[in-house]
Amino acid sequence: MLNFNRIFRSSLKEGSSKGFMASLQAVQESLSNLRPSSKRDAYRVQLATEQLVQLKRHFRQMNEQIVSLEEQLKVLSEQNSGPSIEEK
């Protein structure tokens, strides 16, 4: 059985978005391979799968926002470091 806490913590320490997405994919595959023995367990697996999908969606949105903010920062830093106009 996979230790989900270890997977997430190691991917967060790496700081890599690819590592985190790979961890989420591994968890999703593990959940899909589970064969619950009761309706309660099946519901728990279904709930965990839905939460995982929401996590992936939220993570993608955060990455898009980070890319946008990095581009804005780059433009602002280029504007600030550009040639200054001296007053006459």
27-75, pLDDT tens digit by residue? 899 899 999 999 999 999 999 999 999 999 999 999 899 999 999 999 9
Whole-number Cα distances in Å, 48 to 5, 51, 70, 87: 14, 5, 32, 63
Per-residue confidence band for 88, with pLDDT thresholds at 50, 70 and 90: very low
Average pLDDT (16-36) is 84
Which of 38, 31, 81 has its CA nearest to residue 56?
A: 31
17/22: higher pLDDT:
22
Burial of 4 (0-12, 13-18, 19+ CB in 10 A): middle
In this predicted structure, what is the pLDDT of residue 24?
Answer: 86
41-56: burial string, b at 16+ Cβ within 10 Å, e else: eeeeeeebeeeeeeee
